[in-house]
Amino acid sequence: MRRTLQCIFFCLFSFSLSLTAQRSPISAAVGMYKGKATILLNGKPQTPVIYALTDVPGGRWPWEEVPKHTIQTFCEANIHLMQVDLFFDHVWMENDSINLDTARMLLRGVLNACPDAAILIRFHVNPPKWWQSKNPEENTVYADGPAKTYHGPGLHRLIQDDEKTVLRYSLASAKWIEDASRHLKLFLQALQKVPEANALIGIQVAGGVFGEWHYWGFLDNEPDMSNPMLLYFRAWLKNKYQNEKALQVSWKDPSVNFQNASLPTVAERTTTKAGIFRDPDSERKIIDYYEAQHDCVAEDIIHFCQVVKESWPRPIITGTFYGYFYSVFGREAAGGHLALMKVLNSPWVDYLSGPHAYYPNPGSEPGDPYRSRSLINSVALHGKLWLDEMDIRPPLVDVSDSDFDSSLQKSIATTRQHMLFTYSKGMGFWFYDFGPSGMAVGTRTKNHGNFGWWDEPSLMKDIRQVKALMDSNLEKIYTHDADVLLVHDTKTFYYTSATKSGNSLEHWANNWVPIAIFKSVVVHDVIHIDDLEKINPDQYKAIVFVNDWVMTDRQKKFIREKLARNHRHLIFIYAPGYSNEEKLDPAFIENVTGIKTEMSRDTTYSFNNHPVDPLFVITDQNAAPLEYFKGSSRVDFARRTFGDYDSWYMVLPSTDPSVWRNIFQKAGANIYDEDGDIFYTGHNILSVHTVAGGDKTIHLKNGKRVHLHLPPISTTLLNPETGEVILR
């Protein structure tokens, strides 16, 4: 097999070496330009729209007929940023040598199809499988079962079955870090000497589940009881507490020290002592473990990004899959991305990325609001770029099918909507094309043909038009018009149940409430609570605190003094500020909301068939009751008007768009229409996505009313100031 690959490579190499040699090396960076983070190639701004092949066997090699064709098709649509996948298994040989054949073939294959391409490599820093066999003591040990090998013989992905309890290295392994870092440096030092590398502009470091830096087995299992994780945890504790007396006081254990501290058992991880909350006073060990695990993964990412930047002879872009907040399956503590601030504050990381939110309403059907997986406005506040991985297959059917016309209409409407959401936020995306591999995402079955997912002339024409519009706005100052803000938190997951059932209320609030807010027909931003002091509060009429159940005194003070003013409306859900990281106190809730409550441990009240414990009941006589617990006279939703602001407090999260629309109307936020259509605005465009179509009255932010007739299942672009149609 290697001889065959080498033969193919040298044929390609001989044919195109002279062309490659003429290309000058590209210096690449992510920098602020016209008010937003932007890809800069040799100092020139680029619209961050990328075409990407996948890692799936049978469709990743750009010299093959179908992948080559799809690269050419996107290149002709003026999309010249390209991405390919590469693994250590391809370059780090068992004799400890570095082999560049596959890397050069990938780069050369892209350049043969698109000579002007600027290329990013998603580089999987997982050690080769032979390394794991030689170093079994460095592998993950699952807390609740043995590691297994699931796939059978034949062709399979190198990251196949990653979501299960696969035999994989520990993300805390110091030996892996040392060996992989050395060989990544050797690889980059060798690669920079070949002519194809002149086109390389970035490395996305990938690891963990599917390269997305989730901890192995996190969906249904608990990692990681390995010796590498134990050593990391003890070192982390020493760094945090400095002396053993402080550790003993925090853990309420006079016998614990930095040499004997243990990893929490499954029983400890799946038990909480204060309802759905962990009591910081008596459960600090488990809180510390999860925080350490997330710090470990974040440090891995930052480390490898630093290796890339320091090993390349000119400026290069580094990025990673990280920052997932939505659609993490209720397993955020076990394997989410909770050390977001650590990664965002790193100078070595230029961009974060991830697939769109997979649920609820993932954007695959007309009428669904497409949305990014991350707290995307926090990424922007840190001067980073966010790149969406668009891995939704358009609903195209074969041209001979009687449903072809309707499938094309849906494909254009949804693809345009997907592109415009991220663009409206000042960010970018890539088309992640499983089509050439014949893989239907989510199954192991073949689809009805090996072709590019977007490989249809009318659809590609529309993609080219939208890309041209984006290019035309490159030199314009970026502005965005959201007047509603959602505030989320990641540290809350350290202090609440790690199980799917115990985490149900928080999971629902974080994932279903935003859908209702989209369908209330406002435009909103989303940030991490740690970035509150970075925002311009005057932009927002209403601020929703979704899962901010752990707040510092500084954050509470900022809310009271800077946000609770100028007739702003603040909306709080469930247990705002109930923990200050040191203790749980119901009085903290009134301190944040200004509304009196009473705590109950009555577990007869449930949400989504899970008991709500603790339960908070609104008792404030000065607050107007708006809703009651089912079958009860106890208030669970109320509003209190103060001199300069309004406080709304809903104990249980509402997913009714009409409830949210009423709140936002009272707050003075702009409601774009009365029909529940999906609107995005920012970056000089207003996008309206509609299923029913028909006569519309659209309310622009400046007060102007625009009357339009829109076709069903369509996405239309308007000028946000005049309402003029830019692109039907």
Rounded average pLDDT per 10-residue block, the chain, 728 residues: 49 49 88 97 98 86 93 98 97 97 97 98 97 97 89 77 92 98 98 98 98 96 96 98 98 98 97 97 98 98 98 98 97 97 98 96 90 98 98 90 94 96 97 84 44 94 98 95 97 97 96 98 98 97 98 97 97 98 97 97 87 96 96 94 97 97 98 96 96 97 96 97 94
Please indicate, yes or no, whether residues 12 and 119 belong to a single structural domain of this protein: yes
In Å, what is the CA distance from 51 to each residue of 228, 389, 468? Answer: 38, 10, 15
Q: What is the pLDDT of residue 602?
A: 83
Give 354's strand partners.
Answer: 388
pLDDT tens profile 558-617: 999 999 999 999 999 999 999 999 999 999 999 999 999 999 988 888 898 999 999 999
Please indicate, yes or no, whether residues 505 and 451 belong to a single structural domain of this protein: no
Q: What is the pLDDT of residue 59?
A: 72
Cα–Cα distance between 174 and 127 in angstroms, integer?
A: 12
Q: Would 582 be classed as within a structural domain?
A: yes
CA atoms 43, 44, 48, 50: torsion sign = negative
Q: Which residue has the tokens 């995307």?
A: 376
Tokens linked to 119 = 């290329």
**What is the number of residues in the chain?**
728
Q: What is the pLDDT of residue 156?
A: 79
Q: Which residue has the tokens 């939505």?
A: 326
Q: Would 499 be classed as within a structural domain?
A: yes
Please indicate, yes or no, whether residues 188 and 323 belong to a single structural domain of this protein: yes
Q: What is the pLDDT of residue 703?
A: 96
Identity at 689, one-letter amino acid code:
H
Q: Are residues 140 and 169 in contact, defined by beta-carbon separation less than 8 angstroms?
A: yes
The DSSP string of 309-375 is: HHHSSS--EEEEE--B-S--TT-HHHHS---HHHHHT-TT--EEEEEPP-SSS-SSSTT-----SB-
Burial of 207 (0-12, 13-18, 19+ CB in 10 A): buried
Please indicate, yes or no, whether residues 461 and 324 belong to a single structural domain of this protein: yes
CATH number, domain containing residue 559 = 3.40.50.880
CATH number, domain containing residue 204 = 3.20.20.80
Q: What is the pLDDT of residue 57?
A: 80
Q: Would 111 be classed as within a structural domain?
A: yes
Please indicate, yes or no, whether residues 316 and 444 belong to a single structural domain of this protein: yes
Tokens linked to 639 = 């509003």
Residue 323: name the closest of 244, 380, 251, 281 by CA: 380
In Å, what is the CA distance from 244 to each residue of 232, 530, 583, 721? Answer: 16, 29, 21, 62
Burial call 7-21: b when 16+ CB within 10 Å, e when fewer? eebeebbeebeeebe
Query: Residue 422 in 3-state DSSP?
Result: helix
Query: Residue 472 in 3-state DSSP?
Result: helix
Those residues with Cβ within 8 angstroms of residue 277's Cβ, 6 or more apart along the chain or in another chain: 495, 496, 497, 549, 575, 578, 579, 584, 614
Number of domains the chain contains:
3
Q: Are residues 167 and 149 in contact, defined by beta-carbon separation less than 8 angstroms?
A: yes
Cα–Cα distance between 714 and 689 in angstroms, integer?
A: 6
Please indicate, yes or no, whether residues 628 and 699 belong to a single structural domain of this protein: no
Q: What is the pLDDT of residue 73?
A: 97
Identity at 142, one-letter amino acid code:
Y
End-of-domain residue from the set 665, 691, 711: 665
What is the number of helices (H) and of strands (E) in the chain? 19, 28
Q: For residue 631, how far is the Cα from the chain centroid? A: 39
pLDDT tens profile 188-209: 999 999 999 999 999 999 999 9
For residue 649, the enclosing domain spans 484-665
Please indicate, yes or no, whether residues 130 and 182 belong to a single structural domain of this protein: yes
Identity at 514, one-letter amino acid code:
P
Q: In what order do the strands lie in the sheet with 678-682?
A: 678-682, 685-690, 714-718, 725-727
Q: Which alpha helices (DSSP H) does 192-256 contain, by range?
A: 227-241, 244-251
Q: Are residues 100 and 190 in contact, defined by beta-carbon separation less than 8 angstroms?
A: yes
Please indicate, yes or no, whether residues 309 and 428 belong to a single structural domain of this protein: yes
Query: Residue 157 in 3-state DSSP?
Result: coil
Q: Would 159 be classed as within a structural domain?
A: no
Please indicate, yes or no, whether residues 520 and 463 belong to a single structural domain of this protein: no
Q: Would 74 be classed as within a structural domain?
A: yes
Q: Would 655 be classed as within a structural domain?
A: yes
pTM: 0.95
Cα–Cα distance between 630 and 644 in angstroms, integer?
A: 32
Q: Would 136 be classed as within a structural domain?
A: yes
End-to-end CA distance of the chain: 50
Tokens linked to 171 = 């993300």
101-113 helix and 2-21 helix, angle to the nearest 10 degrees: 50
Burial call 306-342: b when 16+ CB within 10 Å, e when fewer? bbbbebbeebbbbbbbbbbbbbbbbbbbbbbbbbbbb
Please indicate, yes or no, whether residues 643 and 565 belong to a single structural domain of this protein: yes
Cα–Cα distance between 298 and 630 in angstroms, integer?
A: 43
CA torsion 711→716→720→724, rounded to 10°?
-60
Please indicate, yes or no, whether residues 532 and 627 belong to a single structural domain of this protein: yes
Q: What is the pLDDT of residue 442?
A: 41
Q: What is the pLDDT of residue 171?
A: 98
Please indicate, yes or no, whether residues 719 and 616 belong to a single structural domain of this protein: no
End-of-domain residue from the set 422, 448, 472: 472
Q: Are residues 178 and 300 in contact, defined by beta-carbon separation less than 8 angstroms?
A: no
Q: What is the pLDDT of residue 398?
A: 86
Tokens linked to 692 = 């029913």
Q: What is the pLDDT of residue 15?
A: 47
Q: Would 633 be classed as within a structural domain?
A: yes
Identity at 486, one-letter amino acid code:
L
Backbone phi, psi, residue 427, to 5°: -120, -170
